[in-house]
Amino acid sequence: ATGGADGTVRFFDLARGEEVARCAAAADAVNGCAFHPWLPVLATASGERVFRDPSASDSEEAGAGEEAREGDACCAALWGL
């Protein structure tokens, strides 16, 4: 399995080299995923690709042309398989 910049996790059959499934995991980039060594669980990490301007006031929280993200902007999740 691998995470994508579009927020999806893709699963591959390594013997055939083909994508076999995908799922939407986050509103932003999934930058990490790992299988539990013996349980049917996948852990994912996502993080926002929006960089805040440290000199902006609270009312100008988002970067140029970017809306502030809420909820799963930076998170870790466990998925039962």
Model confidence band, residue 9 (pLDDT cutoffs 50, 70, 90): very high
Q: Provide the whole-model pTM.
A: 0.67
Q: Coil, strand, or helix at residue 60? A: helix
For residue 27, the one-letter residue type is: A
* pLDDT tens digits along 24-69: 988 888 989 999 999 999 999 998 766 666 776 655 444 444 444 4
Q: Residue 50, class by beta-carbon neighbours within 10 Å (0-12 exposed, 13-18 middle, 19+ buried)?
A: middle
Instruction: List phi, psi (to 5°) of 47.
Output: -150, 150
